Amino acid sequence: MVVKKKHNNGFHGYGVPDIPRGPRSIRRRDLLKRTIEDSQICAFELLATVAGKLLLESEGSASSNAAEGKDPSSLHSGGVKQEQLVGAKALRSECLDQGSCVESVSVAGRHVESILREFPFAVCDPVLESTSVISSSYFSGKVGHDLKLAIPENQTSLEKSSCKIKGGSSDIGQSCDGYVDSGIARQLEDEGDRNYNVHLTTANTSNPKDEMEICVNTHPLINSDSSVQLTSFRDSIPNASFPRRRNNVKVGTRDDDEKFVGSNLPNSKIRAFRPQRIGHRRIRKLLTSKYWKVAPKLKDCEYSNTNGCIKRVSRNRKILQTCERIQREGPFKKRRIFNPSSALAYDGEGSSESISNSPEKGMKGEKSGSGVNKASLVSSSAASHQALLQSNESQVKFSIKSFKVRDLYIEVPETSTVGSLKRTVMEAVTAILRGGLHIGVLLQGKEVKDDNRTLLQTGISHNDYLDTLGFTLEPSSATASPPISPKDPPVLLPCETHQDLTRLTVSPILDTEFANASCDPPPAANVPNHVESNHELALSPTDEVTNGTTPDSRALVSIPPISVEALAVVPLNQKTRRSELAQRRIRRPFSVSEVEALVEAVEKLGTGRWRDVKLRAFEDADHRTYVDLKDKWKTLVHTASIAPQQRRGQPVPQDLLDRVLCAHSYWSQHQSKLHGKNHTEPLKISDPQAGQV
- Give the type of residue at 183: G
Stretch that binds DNA, among 275-283, 298-306, 536-544, 619-627 (CB under 7 A): 619-627
Distant-in-sequence, close-in-space partners of 370: CB < 8 Å, separation ≥ 6: 36, 40, 171, 174, 175, 268, 269
Q: How far is the C-alpha of 116 from the C-alpha of 9, rounded, in Å? A: 49
- Considering only residues 632 to 651 of the shown chain, the ones binding DNA according to CB under 7 A are 634-635
Stretch that binds DNA, among 43-51, 100-108, 545-553, 578-586 (CB under 7 A): 578-586
Q: Print the binding letters for residues 532-571 with DNA: x by CB under 7 A, - otherwise.
A: ----------------------------------------
Q: Would you call 104 helix, strand, or coil by DSSP? A: coil
Edge-to-edge, what's the strand order for the sheet holding 437-443?
446-447, 437-443, 469-475
- Give the type of residue at 493: L
Work out whether 584 is an interface residue with DNA (CB under 7 A): yes
Distances (CA, A) of 50 to 71, 245, 334, 368, 626: 22, 24, 43, 20, 68
- Burial class of residue 371 in the structure, from the number of CB atoms within 10 Å of its CB (0-12 exposed, 13-18 middle, 19+ buried): middle
Q: Are 302 and 320 in contact (CB under 8 A)?
A: no
Q: Are 667 and 603 in contact (CB under 8 A)?
A: no
- Considering only residues 191 to 220 of the shown chain, the ones binding DNA according to CB under 7 A are none
- Of 186, 311, 585, 647, which lies in the binding site for DNA, with binding defined by CB under 7 A? 585
Q: Print the binding letters for residues 394-433 with DNA: x by CB under 7 A, - otherwise.
A: ----------------------------------------
Residue of 160, 163, 193 lying closest to 175 (CA atoms): 193
Work out whether 627 is an interface residue with DNA (CB under 7 A): yes
Residue 300 phi/psi, 5-degree rounding, is -85, 15
Q: Print the binding letters for residues 438-457 with DNA: x by CB under 7 A, - otherwise.
A: ------xx------------
User: In whole angstroms, what separates CA 397 from the centre of its chain?
Assistant: 13
Work out whether 461 is an interface residue with DNA (CB under 7 A): no
Q: Are 283 and 431 in contact (CB under 8 A)?
A: yes
Residue 441 phi/psi, 5-degree rounding, is -110, 125
Minimum distance between the CB of residue 3 and DNA, rounded to whole angstroms? 16
Residue 245 phi/psi, 5-degree rounding, is -80, 135
Q: With CB under 7 A as the rule, give the number of residues binding DNA.
A: 24
Minimum distance between the CB of residue 649 and DNA, rounded to whole angstroms? 11
Identity of the residue, 44 or 666, whose beta carbon is nearer to DNA in the bound complex: 666
- Of 110, 453, 630, 670, which lies in the binding site for DNA, with binding defined by CB under 7 A? 630
Q: Are 217 and 345 in contact (CB under 8 A)?
A: no
- Of 379, 631, 642, 684, which lies in the binding site for DNA, with binding defined by CB under 7 A? 631
Distant-in-sequence, close-in-space partners of 493: CB < 8 Å, separation ≥ 6: 289, 305, 478
Q: Is the dihedral of CA 513, 517, 523, 528 positive or negative?
A: negative
Q: Are 269 and 39 in contact (CB under 8 A)?
A: no
- Of 496, 626, 647, 689, which lies in the binding site for DNA, with binding defined by CB under 7 A? 626
Query: Regarding beta strands 301-306 and 469-475, do their DSSP bridges make them parallel or antiparallel, or are they unpaired?
Result: unpaired
Identity of the residue, 186 or 585, whose beta carbon is nearer to DNA in the bound complex: 585
- Give the type of residue at 202: T
Identity of the residue, 271 or 630, whose beta carbon is nearer to DNA in the bound complex: 630
Identity of the residue, 510 or 581, whose beta carbon is nearer to DNA in the bound complex: 581
Work out whether 670 is an interface residue with DNA (CB under 7 A): no
Q: Would you call 505 helix, strand, or coil by DSSP? A: coil
Q: How far is the C-alpha of 141 from the C-alpha of 203, rounded, in Å? A: 9
Stretch that binds DNA, among 51-59, 229-237, 270-278, 585-593 (CB under 7 A): 585-593
- Of 10, 359, 548, 608, which lies in the binding site for DNA, with binding defined by CB under 7 A? 608
- Of 209, 588, 604, 670, which lies in the binding site for DNA, with binding defined by CB under 7 A? 588
Q: Print the binding letters for residues 361-380 with DNA: x by CB under 7 A, - otherwise.
A: --------------------
Identity of the residue, 39 or 635, whose beta carbon is nearer to DNA in the bound complex: 635
Work out whether 607 is an interface residue with DNA (CB under 7 A): yes
Work out whether 330 is an interface residue with DNA (CB under 7 A): no
Identity of the residue, 295 or 455, whose beta carbon is nearer to DNA in the bound complex: 455
Work out whether 173 is an interface residue with DNA (CB under 7 A): no
Work out whether 609 is an interface residue with DNA (CB under 7 A): yes
Distances (CA, A) of 111 to 87, 185, 369: 12, 10, 22
- Maximum Cα interatomic distance, the chain, rounded to a whole number of Å: 95
Minimum distance between the CB of residue 379 and DNA, rounded to whole angstroms? 42
Q: How far is the C-alpha of 82 from the C-alpha of 91, rounded, in Å? A: 14
Work out whether 336 is an interface residue with DNA (CB under 7 A): no
Q: Are 253 and 357 in contact (CB under 8 A)?
A: no
- Of 610, 636, 662, 690, which lies in the binding site for DNA, with binding defined by CB under 7 A? 610
Stretch that binds DNA, among 278-286, 323-331, 519-527, 610-618 (CB under 7 A): 610-618
Identity of the residue, 503 or 609, whose beta carbon is nearer to DNA in the bound complex: 609
Identity of the residue, 568 or 627, whose beta carbon is nearer to DNA in the bound complex: 627
- Of 300, 612, 620, 658, which lies in the binding site for DNA, with binding defined by CB under 7 A? 612
Work out whether 109 is an interface residue with DNA (CB under 7 A): no
Identity of the residue, 2 or 627, whose beta carbon is nearer to DNA in the bound complex: 627
Q: How far is the C-alpha of 530 from the C-alpha of 488, rounded, in Å? A: 46
Site residues (vs DNA, CB under 7 A): 444-445, 582, 584-590, 607-612, 623, 626-628, 630-631, 634-635
